[in-house]
Structure 1
Amino acid sequence: MKMSRHKRKYIILLCIGLIGIFLAIWTIWSNKALMVSEISISSDNLPSSFSGYRIAHISDLHNTQFGEENATLLQMLSECQPDIIVITGDLIDAQHTDVEVAICFAQKAVQIAPTYYVTGNHEASSSQYDTLKTELKDTGVTLLEDEIVYLEQDGEVIALLGIDDPNFTIKGDLFDEVPAMVNTKLKSMLEYDTVYSVLLSHRPELFETYVACGVDLVLSGHAHGGQFRLPFIGGLIAPDQGLFPKYDSGLYTDGITNMVVSRGLGNSIIPFRFNNRPEVVLVELNAE
C-alpha cells in the first residue's frame, strides 16, 4: 500500500522532533555530568619518589556549581585521592562574578589536598579579582604569580611553576608579543633548574613556547574542549585559537614536553557545550 504524502510528512516531522528532544536531553545531561579523565605521564627526569604522584587538575569553573556548594565536584576530587589540586584559571566568570561561590569551593578543596592556583583571562577582566586574590590566600590556596615553588618528597624535589594570564599585561596581542613575554618569564624561572618541572598556565595555544623553554609538563585549560565536540573532528571553536583549535583537550607531546589540556567545567560567553562533558583531569606521574 502506497503511503500518502501527508503521512510521510508526518513521520518525517515526528522523527525530526524525536531527534531534537534527544539532542536537547543529551545536551542538558552532558553539561552537568561530571567525569574524571585519567592521564599517565612518564619521564626519566622524574625523581623515583614522585612515581605515582597524583595531581587533580581543574580549570574554567566559571562560578559553576555541581551540587549544592559544589558538593558533587568536591566529592569527585576527594575520591581521586590527589597529592595536590591545581586550578588553571577562570575560577570566576567576568560577566557574572561571584567571589563567594569561588571561595566556598576553595575552602573545601584545601581540606582535600594542598591547592595551587593560577589566573585566567576572566580574572584579568574582573573588577573583583583583588578581592578574590586576598580571600584565596586567606583560605590557604597557594597563588603562583610568575613564581616557582618546590614540592618535596623523600628528600627529592620537583618544580611547580605558575604564570599569570597574559591579559594582565597585554590586551589583544596585536603584535604577537605574548609568546615572547611568556618565553622570557619561563626562561628566567628555569634558568638554573634541572629538576622535573610542572607548569600551570591557562593558555594551551602557547605550547610551542613551553616546548622551547624545556618545560616537562604543562597543565592548561582555556579552550573549553572546543565547546562543541564533533565526532572524528574534535572541538569546533576555542578562545585565542578560533575554529577547529589545535589544542582543545587531552595530551599533547613534543620532545620532552607534555601538555595536558582540560576541557574545563563551566561555560561563559557560550552558555552550553555539546558532546563535551565537564571534567576533572587526574594526572599520575611515573618515573621511567
Structure 2
Amino acid sequence: MSKINWHRILKILIWGIPLIVGIGIFCFWQNNDIVTTKHEYVNSKIPKAFNDFKIVHISDLHNKRFGKNQEKILSKIRESNPDIIVITGDLIDRRKYNLEVAMEFIKGAKEIAPIYYVSGNHEAWSGKYSEIKNNLIEVGANVLDNDYLELNRENEVIDILGLKDPDFLTSTYIDGTDSSEVELKLKEWKERKSFKILLSHRPELFNLYYENDMDIIFSGHAHGGQFRTPFGGGLVAPDQGFFPKYTSGKYKNNGSTMFVSRGLGNSVMPIRIFNRPEIVEVTLINNK
C-alpha cells in the first residue's frame, strides 16, 4: 500500500481552495453587480420637444431580487433620472414564479418615472398572465401588448408601441415562433407618420421591425448570450441558438436602430460569465 503523499495534498489545498473561492466570488459578482450602459440616439426626426428625452430600458428580471425591496436596481435607475422606463418582458420566470418580487421592482420604479411594459415568453407560458397584467395596471404601469400610446410634450408627439409576445400563440419551444400576429400589427403601425418607439421582447425579429419602419426598438430575451468572451459576443440565446446575432448593444438597418438589453436575471441557465446584469439608458438627441 502506497503512503499518502501529504505534501502533495497540502499543495493542492493551498492552491485549490483560493481558486475555488475566487471563482465563486467572480460568479457572484458577474450575476449580481448591475451595470448601466449608456447610449445617445441621434436623429433629426425626433421632435425638438423630445431633445434630451431619456429612456431607461429594463428586461428579463425573471423575478430576481437585487437587495431589499429591489433597492440596488432602483438606485441605479434614480441615477439615470429617466423620463420614462420601458420594460420588454420576462418580469417573472415561469419555472420559479414569484410575482411579489417582480412587483417590488415595479412599485419602486413607478415612483421614479412612468412605466411602459410588454410581455415576454415567460409571461406567455406562465398560465398566469391575467394576474400579472392586472397587478401591473393596478399600480399604474402602461401595458402595451399590441397597443400604443402617444407621448405628448409641448404640442409634439412620439408614438410608443408594444408587441405582445408571439409565444401566446404557441405552447412549447417545439412549436417554434408564430410571428403572424406581430407582422399584422407592424404593417398596421407602419402607416403612422410620427416618430416610433417599439417595445418587443424578441430581437431575432429585427428584420420585421426595420421592414416596417420602426425608428427605435427595445428588446431583450437573449440574456446577452449567457456566456460572453471578454471581447466578443454571446454563446447561446433562445430562438437564435449558438453564436447568436443579436445579444447586446445597438444594431442598425434601414433607418431603424435596435437596442438589446442583456437583462437582469437568469432562467434555465443560472450563471452569467463576462455578462453582468444590465440596465440600458438611451438619450434622444435632435441634431437639426
TM-score, length-scaled by structure 2: 0.91
Give the SS at the match of 2:71: helix
> 1:189 and 1:68, CA in 2 relative to 1: closer, same or farther beyond 3 A?
same
**What amino acid does structure 1 have at the position aligned with 2:243?**
F
Identity of aligned pairs, percent? 44
SS at match of 1:222: coil
How do residues 75-224 of structure 1 correspond to structure 2 at under 5 angstroms? Answer: 75-171=75-171, 178-191=178-191, 193-224=192-223
Read off the aligned partner of 2:186 and give its amino acid letter: L
Q: 1:279 to 1:169 in 2, by over 3 A?
A: same
Render the CA deviation track for 1:102-145: whole Å, top value 9, x for unaligned. 22221221111010100000000112221111111000000001
Residue 3 of structure 2 corresponds to none
In structure 2, relative to structure 1, the CA distance for the partners of 1:126 and 1:16 (3 Å cut) is same
1:3 is matched with none
Shift of 1:239: 0.5
Per-residue CA deviation, residues 138-176 of structure 1 (Å, 9 max, x unaligned), is: 000000010111111111110100011000123458787
Equivalent position SS for 1:95: helix
Task: Tell me how many residue pairs correspond in the alignment.
Answer: 283
**Hey, what does 1:62 align to over in structure 2?**
62
Could you tell me which amino acid in structure 2 is paired with residue 199 of structure 1?
Answer: L
Give distance in 2, aligned partners of 1:183 and 1:75.
37
1:222 maps to amino acid: H
CA distance in 2, matches of 1:203, 1:242: 14
Give the superposition deviation at 1:76.
1.1
> Mind listing any 5+ residue stretches in structure 2 that lack a counterpart?
1-5
Moved more, 166-175 or 49-58: 166-175
Q: Deviations over 1:56-75 (max 9, x none)?
A: 10000000011101011111
1:176/1:153 CA distance change after superposition, 3 Å: same
Q: Would you say the 8 A contact 1:227–1:273 is kept in 2?
A: yes
Q: Secondary structure at the match of 1:112?
A: coil
Residue 99 of structure 1 contacts residue 128 of structure 1 at CA under 8 Å; is this kept in 2?
no
8 Å contact from structure 1 (residues 147, 189) kept in 2: no
The runs of 5 or more residues in structure 1 that have no matched partner are 1-5
Cα offset, 1:207, TM superposition: 0.5
2:52–2:283 CA contact under 8 A, matched in 1: yes
1:17 is displaced (CA, Å) by 5.9
The alignment yields a C-alpha RMSD, in angstroms, of: 2.2
TM-score (structure 1 length as normaliser): 0.91
SS in 1 for 2:263: coil
